[in-house]
Amino acid sequence: MKKLLTRVYFGYYVVLTSFVMLAVRAGVGMQTLGFIIEPMQNEMKWSTTGITFSLTFQLIVAAVLAPYIGKRLDVFGARNILTTGLVANGVMLVLMAYVQQLWQLTLMIGLLGGISQACIGNSLVMPFISKWFHENRGTMMGIVSSGANLGAAILAPVVVLLMNSTDNWRSTWFLIGWLPIIISPFVYFILRKNSKTEKGSTDKLTSSAPLPLQKKSPEISFTVKETLKTPVFWLLIIAWNLADFVMKGALLNRIPFSLEMGYEITDAAGIVVVYGIMAIIGKIGAGWFSDRISPNMLAALLSLFQTSALIIFVYGANKTALYLAYSIISGLSSGGIIALMPIILAKYYGSKFQGAISGITNPLLLFAALGGPLSASVIQDITGSYKNGFILYMFLSVATVILFVFLKKPGYSGDNYKSEKV
């Protein structure tokens, strides 16, 4: 048994570790924060915009740190970075139990949360996975990405249970904060091996004599400078911003909008659970299909599904529409789109410099980071309803479909490039 475990390609241990880590991060993160934020907001008399700004500030801090951390990933590997991110995430949540002022909330979520997001967000974890796989890269990245939704599906009911049993949002913050701290030593131990990549590697599960990846299937990798020179990169950034704007905004505001429409909190919790399950299927499916068909057309199709889900969610008049829109259609489409973004980057520009390239993309997505979560909250503060915010998401989702259709893979020839159809 021990011999078999030592023969298993180390990349699969990396996949398992990253899967669990993302499950914990998302399970105590944005996908479940709505259950705690609402009672905290009611007790502290804070505005929706003020709380949302704290979450937006977190994304800004992460965007500033991402280029530096991405370069460290390419050079030194991921073990220390991932462990730091988990600890920062746990400390942030524990300290949230003691906040008394809105500026303290902004500091905790923004600073510690931003460090955590930069270290264990998709912009770091996905390039890490891409370095270990080539032939099955999309599938493996889809599997790892699905961990976030499994974590949300499992931990959302736990958060609701803690809120109901303690009737205290402070105790809930404190208790869930220990989960990422507890798993951080295990992540550090499992990734004790050089976690950048293996010079001799294979995608096969076991191999006594792995073949060098480059000899088996050569891969062209763009440098950061070469990547920034390709027009398709900037088209991808625009499409990514619009897609992320819609998904981040809808993700954060779907629970309060559901409650506004008259649904019970148990219904809202049900959305998170079923949405998470559907997103798992969407991410794994998108990863698998991306290894076989054009990823940009797949992203366009999923964005079209996302548009349909938003229409049903806003104009559906019953619980069936609620579950159909956000538990099934949006779960599948959002999960697939989230998984595809880093996959497209890796497939278009190679894995060698993915940490640095992905780090550069993070600050370029500030439009989504700032506008997505904040937009519907600001509209709600002004109009008293989230509805117009979700209508805005519909139109932006349509634009995303069009942009993905015209996205093309850049060809490579030395320091020059040309655009060619995938």
Supply the CATH number for residue 30's domain: 1.20.1250.20
Any domain includes 48: yes
- What are residue 416's DSSP bridge partners? 413
Query: Could you read off the pLDDT tens digit of each residue along the chain, which spans 422 residues?
Result: 545 455 678 888 889 889 988 888 877 776 666 677 777 877 888 876 777 777 778 878 888 888 888 888 777 778 888 899 999 999 998 998 888 888 888 888 888 888 988 888 877 788 888 888 877 888 898 999 888 878 877 887 788 788 777 778 888 888 888 989 999 998 888 886 544 444 444 444 434 333 333 334 566 788 889 999 999 999 999 999 999 999 888 877 877 787 777 777 666 667 767 777 888 899 999 999 998 889 999 999 999 999 998 888 888 767 777 777 777 888 899 889 988 988 898 889 988 888 888 888 888 887 887 788 778 878 888 888 888 888 999 999 999 999 999 988 887 655 544 444 33
Q: Is residue 209 situated within a structural domain?
A: no
Q: What is the pLDDT of residues 150-182, one digit of tens each?
A: 887 788 778 878 877 777 888 888 888 898 999
Residue 1 in domain = no
135 lies in which domain range?
A: 8-196+215-420
| 207 part of a folded domain | no
In a domain, 133, yes or no: yes
Would 309 be classed as within a structural domain?
Answer: yes
Q: Is 2 within a domain?
A: no
pLDDT digits (tens, 9 = 90+) for 211-235: 333 334 566 788 889 999 999 999 9
Long-range contacts of 157-164 (CB under 8 A, 24+ apart): 157/269, 157/273, 158/27, 159/28, 159/32, 159/35, 159/36, 160/35, 160/265, 160/266, 160/269, 163/35, 163/36, 163/39
Q: Please say whether the beta carbons of 274 and 328 come within 8 A.
A: yes
Assess if residue 411 is contained within a domain.
Answer: yes
As for how many domains the chain has, the answer is 1
Listed in sequence order, the residues at least 6 apart from 77 whose beta carbon sits closer than 8 Å to its beta carbon are: 191, 194, 195, 196
